[in-house]
Structure 1
Amino acid sequence: MEELARLAGITVRTLRFYRERKLIPPPRREGRIAWYDDHHLARLRTIAALLERGHTLSGIAELADALDHGRDVADLIGVDSPTEEEPVRLTPEELAARFEGEVTPENLAAAMDLGYLGTDGDEIVHISRRLLDVSSALVREGIPLADVLAAGAEVRRHTESLADLFTTLILRHAAREDLHRLRPLARSVVEAELSLALDREVRRRG
């Protein structure tokens, strides 16, 4: 416990407190010896990153409980409606390979904050194959993952406004059960407008 606390940059008292709050999973025991491993250290570093981002211990405890009990990724982010996105299951090693050394505690915390990541048993679940593929492609192009995630947070704010706009429009003229059927039309409008906006921006900066 002392070695783990030292590596995590916290006190043994803080570590005991985290254990009591079930923020970290229990150690593996051999007789009277408690063994901690790299997963415990990664969890502690992620807790520190989440605290720095303004999360409360209560919120982190809820997330930790979800991670340790393999709750579905939809439960983690509060999604209970049909989605066109395909979740992706990865081992921690596969996730690290996707992002070439960019899987830091801070980036993991940001991804959890956005609701991109959850776990199911020993596997990591990414909420969207398309977002995973695009973000890893951007990292391969030399863009830091932290910047990709920051851009994702900004895009999230705009797309939530767009989703509200189209949902309100559809419900004004159609039934609620038509929402899922008509959503591809809304997506096509956004994709076309974004494409045109990118054309304009490239010309402006060219």
Structure 2
Amino acid sequence: MEELARLAGITVRTLRFYRERKLIPPPRREGRIAWYDDHHLARLRTISALLERGHTLNGIAELADAFDHGRDVGDLLGLGEPTEEIPVRLTPEELAARFEGEVTPENLAAAMDLGYLGTDGDEIVHISHRLLEVSSALVREGIPLGEVLRAGARVREHADALAELFADLILRHGREQDLQRLRPLARSVVEAELSLAMDRRSRKDAGRDRHPS
């Protein structure tokens, strides 16, 4: 315990307090000897970093519980990593820094339920670099992370339906072997239609501004 406290830059008294609050998992015991490892040290450094960012101990305890019960990245990725998306590994404090003040237990649980985040030891893995960048950019623009995640869930439903539509189109014509090769065409269709839809929405909004009710 003394060695762990020294490496973490805290007092033994503080370490005991964290253990009593269940902020760190119990040590492995051999008789009267308690063994701590790198996992405990990483958790203590995360606690210190989150405290410096203004999180409370109660909030950190809730985050730790959500983190400990999150989906394992192996379960999240299934049989293999995404074919086009690039997963991103983050420490809990790096995640908190990307979404300043928005990494709450509720948002963390929602992101894990949605399949955006998984855990791998002391690291968090985001399923997609592009989605991570977009969601953090939206939060920087002042949109609450909870609303971004709820929008993501709705987009997921539409994306699944579009994937089914395109796959059925190809399979109906006996081109199963070409499903992966032709997926860029599906992406191009979706991107073009979304661009046109945003144009239509912009014109609709402009018309409302010219003719207020």
Could you state the TM-score of these two structures normalised by the residue count of structure 1?
0.69
Partner Cα distance (1:166, 1:144) in 2: 33
Partner Cα distance (1:174, 1:164) in 2: 15
What amino acid maps onto 2:27 in structure 1?
Answer: R
Counterpart for residue 18 of structure 1 = none
Shift of 1:106: 0.4
Q: Does structure 1 conserve the Cα–Cα contact (< 8 Å) formed by 2:62 and 2:105?
A: no
Answering whether residue 42 of structure 2 is matched by residue 43 of structure 1, we say no
Counterpart for residue 158 of structure 1 = 158
Aligned with 2:95: secondary structure?
A: helix
Aligned with 1:202: secondary structure?
A: helix
Equivalences for 1:77-116 in 2 at 5 Å? 78=78, 80=80, 83-116=83-116
Counterpart for residue 143 of structure 2 = 143
Runs of 4+ in structure 1 deviating by more than 3 angstroms, as ranges, are 3-7, 29-41, 77-82
Shift of 1:105: 0.5
Counterpart for residue 134 of structure 1 = 134
Q: Does structure 2 conserve the Cα–Cα contact (< 8 Å) formed by 1:4 and 1:41?
A: no
Partner Cα distance (1:81, 1:32) in 2: 41
Aligned with 2:119: secondary structure?
A: strand
Partner Cα distance (2:81, 2:120) in 1: 19
Aligned with 2:187: secondary structure?
A: helix
Q: Does structure 1 conserve the Cα–Cα contact (< 8 Å) formed by 2:19 and 2:25?
A: no
Counterpart for residue 26 of structure 2 = 27
Q: Does structure 1 conserve the Cα–Cα contact (< 8 Å) formed by 2:90 and 2:123?
A: yes
**Number of residue pairs aligned between Structure 1 and Structure 2:** 168
CA deviations over 1:112-158 (Å, ceiling 9, x no partner):
01100012222111000000000000000000000000000000011
Partner Cα distance (1:85, 1:126) in 2: 10
Identity of aligned residues (%): 64
CA deviations over 1:82-104 (Å, ceiling 9, x no partner):
52101011111111111111111
Partner Cα distance (2:20, 2:184) in 1: 52
Partner Cα distance (2:154, 2:163) in 1: 14
Radius of gyration: which is bigger?
Answer: 2
**Residue ranges of structure 1 left out of the alignment (5+ in a row):** 8-14, 16-23, 48-59, 67-72
Could you state the TM-score of these two structures normalised by the residue count of structure 2?
0.67
Aligned with 2:180: secondary structure?
A: helix
Quote the RMSD (CA, aligned, Å): 3.2
Q: Does structure 2 conserve the Cα–Cα contact (< 8 Å) formed by 1:114 and 1:153?
A: yes
Aligned with 1:101: secondary structure?
A: coil
Partner Cα distance (1:138, 1:74) in 2: 28
Partner Cα distance (1:163, 1:74) in 2: 23
Moved more, 190-199 or 25-34: 25-34
Q: Does structure 2 conserve the Cα–Cα contact (< 8 Å) formed by 1:86 and 1:127?
A: yes
Query: CA 1:193/1:42 → structure 2, altered by over 3 Å: closer, same or farther?
Result: same
**Residue ranges of structure 2 left out of the alignment (5+ in a row):** 1-16, 48-59, 207-213
Q: Does structure 2 conserve the Cα–Cα contact (< 8 Å) formed by 1:117 and 1:127?
A: yes
